[in-house]
A and B are shown apart, each in its own frame.
Chain A
Amino acid sequence: MPNILLRDQDIPNIGTYEVYVQHGGYEGLRKALSMSPKEVIAVVKDSNLRGRGGAGFPTGVKWSFVPDVEGPKYVVVNADESEPGTFKDRQILEKNTQQLIEGALICAYAIQATAIHIYVRGEFWDIGFQLEREIEKARAGGWVGQNIGGSNWSCEIYVHWGAGAYICGEESAMLNSIEGKLGQPRVRPPFPAVSGLYGRPTVINNVETLANVPPIIVNGAAWYKSIGTEKSPGPKIFCVSGHIAKPGNYELPLGKTFRELIEIAGGVRGGKKLKAILPSGASGPLLPGTDKVLDTPMTYEDVAALGSTLGSASVIILDEDTDMVWAAYKMIKFFRHESCGKCTPCREGTYWLEQRLSAIYHRKATRADVELIESVAKQMQGKSLCALGDFATSPVLSALKYWRDEFYAYVEPAKPAVKAPARKAAALAAAGD
């Protein structure tokens, strides 16, 4: 089956306007303009497309929350791809640029938006300029600006560069960042659909989500639902990294198993055995590389049933030699650095998790520290304005769930209270193991 999202793998230079229109480009927007905005939303709703940024929320439902009011309305494209292990949006932005632009325009038409802001992470510096060039070509084609496609609807597109902050991928933090405020999450309600960018109704969608929209409008919801599973329809880009023979992006229908994905990506690197899988970057719980996990279909609901999340489908492979204490420590360092500092449980919790995990990893801790990090992580859950505070707990809690003994192996055995010098001696002895 030809790729629907990674079309650059089948058609060279599909990302450029000239080649894109030769291959059916803007037929989706043309068709959408012949429908009412409500009809467009109904098709996307019926397709059951779910947000590809990680949350999996039904896209059409999200659009339908936007009230029918006069005045400015916005679409914000989340191109702030920053989750460790995720590099799918980058390929769409670089190689299938116009399909993203067309998808964003269809979304904008459906909610009758007056402007689209594409928030690219600052590190995608050149990609931002490439987007601007392609937007200008689409404008010359009559698809951007005044009276789009001859209709009475007008919409502008702007590119906004981030500057290096994971938190800005969180939708309300992204809105603050565009407004020139600190990129920290907002209290909800109100939700962005009602009061988003500059206090106006706003839809925020991920790059991959929007790239799905033009083919849905052209081919219809029934076609889309024929791909994937009933609850998780459509194609999905799986980013495979870590200990894998052929790292990269693979487009597959939702519902293929982890085993199939690993096989397609050439198997575990160096013929090693699989130890663990991170199905959604650093944000989703680790899963052990058991047959049960390997034979699980990669859908939102099936991965959730395993106690993890499909998220953005950034699958990081860990082989048998991976030290799980080190892996958890690496991920906590990430979250400690990226915590925006707004909510105390996340700011302090990530600090203490890193501090105590560092002590464990450097063999300067006790068994009590292992219990302590578990307790701290559990207390952080559900207590912050955005999901980062919860994400940060998953590497620790899932590593402890499956590989607790590895943590104990790093610390001295439990002993009655000992004086400081003796403890130091014991820790030094342990370090020499």
Chain B
Amino acid sequence: MLKEAYAEQIAKIFAKYPDKRSAIMPLLYLAQEHYGYVSPEGINEVAELCEVDPTQVKSIAGFYTMYRETPKGKYWLQVCTDLPCALVGAEQFYHDLLEYLGIQEGGTTPDGLFTVEHVMCLAACDRAPMLQCNFRYVENLDMEKMKALIEQWRAEAKAEMPASGD
């Protein structure tokens, strides 16, 4: 339950606004962090906290691109392919990244580590190609750097896994 897990943060969020409804967006981020995506139970809990109908919360979640409505890979990679980035090779980079990971647009690798999508402008046009990995920017990329990063993330994920044999 969000109410128990984030009691202090929730109180702080409500203190910012004169209206409970304004807390929908920040609480959706908490729900996403807690459940890995904005799950049906997350939607219901946010609705209850903000005293609105769950349908209203769901419409907000669906309106924005940063709320995941389905579970994603551990590393959620959103590549900007908008015009300024595309002018310096972002579309090719995106295509090569999908091919390297062997997945389709929006797909997740079978090991559950990587989801790759393209997104609209991220205000990093001078550092293209670039992507956002779980809300952190990774900039000035090329496939060589990208392959090294993927290996690093794979190693990190492996180190975090419980010892094999279970």
Contacts and interface: CB of A to CB of B under 8 A. Distances in A.
B65 interface: yes
A112 interface: no
Residue in B50, B120, B123, B135 whose Cβ sees the most chain A Cβ within 10 Å? B123
B125 A182 contact: no
Given A81-B123, A82-B121, A84-B82, A180 B63 contact: no
B25 A85 contact: no
A72 interface: yes
Interface string B21-55: 11111101100000000000000000000101000
B59 A334 contact: no
B18 interface: yes
Interface stretch (B1-9, B83-91, B142-150, B157-165): B83-91
Contacts of A242: 83-84, 87-88, 125
What band does the interface of chain B fall in when counting residues whose beta carbon is under 8 Å from A?
Answer: 35 or more
A418 B15 CA distance: 67
Interface in A264-302: 269, 278, 282
Contacts, number: 135
Nearest to A168: B64
Residue in B60, B63, B64, B88 whose Cβ sees the most chain A Cβ within 10 Å? B63
Residue in B84, B87, B128 whose Cβ sees the most chain A Cβ within 10 Å? B84
What band does the interface of chain A fall in when counting residues whose beta carbon is under 8 Å from B?
Answer: 35 or more
A26 interface: no
B103 interface: no
B126 A282 contact: no
A121 B126 contact: no
A125 interface: yes
Contacts of A182: 59-60, 63
Contacts of B16: 158, 160
B101 interface: no
Nearest to A179: B22
Interface of B: 16-19, 21-26, 28-29, 50, 52, 59-60, 63-67, 82-84, 86-88, 119-128, 132, 135-137
21 contacts: A72-B18, A82-B120, A90-B124, A121-B123, A122-B135, A123-B135, A123-B137, A161-B25, A162-B64, A163-B25, A164-B64, A178-B22, A180-B52, A181-B60, A182-B59, A239-B125, A248-B126, A282-B83, A316-B84, A327-B83, A331-B83
